Structure 1
């Protein structure tokens, strides 16, 4: 029971979700702004942009995963120091005053924790 005079609470699980009414409102506004002739072109362009974004993000993830696997497998001589530092920063590992071997060990440990390898 809520006390009298207290503000209503919002369930955080519902914040950021788009329901059918919101989608309908977005479609109506888009029709008003762009008209029925331009809307299919915009939808096609938006779909293409989403496809390209997903493809590029998948490539980046695969590159990072490959680097982690290379580092953890012990053949780290083929990985540059620059790539090691970038990967360590992405995994939240500090690179200050650490040797190459220390970075490799920490990257492998963190990658195992996150289920990347």
Structure 2
């Protein structure tokens, strides 16, 4: 475990990644994560916050190819966290990226709200 109380929520039906996860299974996984996070915050463990983490694909750090959601209790100074160099692209790049995502959603039959 990354921190005391860190656990996994795993759907019973196999899905190697998010693209293969049935929507109802995804809803149940995230609802279970939400309920567990709430319980962890109410517990006697040192919990100041909670991260929900799901890696989808090798580049994202996925090592076990069955969808699973990490519920990671956090407290100041626990040493856990995602580290990145922040990049702030200009408006043209942001707008182009948004249009690319909208087009992919439309092609897949989704909605970008």
TM-score normalised by structure 2 residue count = 0.23
Decide which structure has greater strand share: 2
Decide which structure has greater helix share: 1
TM-score normalised by structure 1 residue count = 0.22
Q: Which has the larger radius of gyration?
A: 1
Structure of higher RCO (CA pairs closer than 8 Å, 6+ residues apart): 2
